[in-house]
Structure 1
Amino acid sequence: MRRILAATALVSTLLTGAALAQEPGRSGAPPRNITSTGVTKPPGGGSPMAPAAQAEMAKAQKAATNRDKAWDSKMRTTMGSICKGC
């Protein structure tokens, strides 16, 4: 009987702790900002980026998009003879 009570107490303690850890106000940590893409941002939004950094980021994103399009085009022509898609 003691083992059952000890196991029940342990499980309830673990479940209560897990529930409290998921509540942002009760854990002591500041609430997190989560963007629509699922990226976690620091509270307060952080410092704004410099215009030069924004321009570099936009350039890098455009280059990545162009690489993805080139890769997709290459794979379509290469794999087109093997696989017609699902």
Structure 2
Amino acid sequence: MRRILAATALLTTLCAAPALAQAPGRSGAPPRNVTATGVTKPPGGGAPMAPAAQAEMVKAQRAAADRDKAWDSKMRTTMGSICKGC
């Protein structure tokens, strides 16, 4: 009987530990926002970006797109001589 009670107490403690660790306000961090689709958003995520930061982000996205296009073009010409498709 003691073993059953000890096992039950241990199981209850282990199962409750993750829930207690994630309880809001316990860690001192602000609570996270969860959307209806289950996506976790950081607190204050709706704040607009500064125009300079937004312009730099757009510039970086364009540069990444240009790099991707160049890589795809290079791979098409390189692999075209090796592989003719399946």
TM-score range with shorter-chain normalisation?
A: 0.5 to 0.7
Return closer, same or farther for 1:77/1:30 CA change in 2, 3 Å cut-off.
same
Q: What is the rounded CA distance, in whole Å, between the counterparts of 1:50 and 1:44 in structure 2?
A: 15
Task: Please list, as runs of the form range in 1=range in 2, the aligned pairs for 1:4-83 lying within 5 A after superposition.
Answer: 4-22=4-22, 26-28=23-25, 29-33=29-33, 41-45=41-45, 47-80=47-80, 81-82=82-83
Structure 1: state its 5+ residue gaps.
none
Shift of 1:43: 1.1
Tell me the TM-score normalised to structure 2 length.
0.62
Percent identity over the alignment?
74
Give the paired residue count. Answer: 80
Structure 2: state its 5+ residue gaps.
none
CA RMSD after TM alignment: 3.1
Question: Residue type matched to 1:27 in 2?
Answer: P
Tell me the TM-score normalised to structure 1 length.
0.62
